[in-house]
């Protein structure tokens, strides 16, 4: 599995997409598109559409995820196949985001979709609460 993991497939990204990916990888917390843009401005002019296109490409390649509830982006940090559902635990206090996969959640959602003749195009599971440190 390690040989096919999508983190190793940066070769066909352009320079801007690689920069956006590096910014997301080095971020401690999720970043909005405009926060990514601000971090890129130090090395030349970049426009918001360019950042959004780069983020879309990273998501398409499985190198990043959009957290719907935060309207923010994170680098993919969990090894999973591109078709696996990624889930996120988001701390509402410190902003920590943990990415994980759970085959049971994915399987249940798949069964529900089948049982209800629903064709899911995209599934994002976000659990909001407190991380172990903030819950103490």
pLDDT of residue 46: 87
pLDDT digits (tens, 9 = 90+) for 37-79: 999 987 777 899 999 999 999 999 989 999 999 999 999 987 6
Residue 21: CA count within 13 A, CB half-sphere = 24
- Is the pTM higher than 0.75? The answer reads yes
Structure tokens at 90: 């988001």
């Amino acid at each position: 599995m390690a040989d096919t993991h999508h983190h190793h497939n940066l070769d066909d990204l352009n320079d801007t997409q690689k920069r956006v990916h590096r910014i997301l990888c080095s971020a401690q917390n999720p970043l909005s598109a405009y926060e990514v843009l601000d971090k890129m401005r130090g090395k030349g002019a970049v426009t918001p559409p360019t950042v959004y296109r780069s983020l879309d490409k990273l998501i398409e390649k499985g190198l990043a995820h959009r957290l719907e509830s935060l309207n923010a982006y994170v680098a993919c940090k969990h090894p999973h196949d591109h078709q696996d559902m990624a889930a996120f635990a988001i701390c509402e206090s410190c902003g920590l985001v943990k990415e994980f996969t759970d085959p049971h959640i994915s399987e249940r959602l798949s069964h529900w979709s089948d049982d209800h003749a629903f064709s899911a195009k995209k599934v994002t599971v976000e659990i909001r609460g407190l991380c172990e440190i903030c819950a103490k």
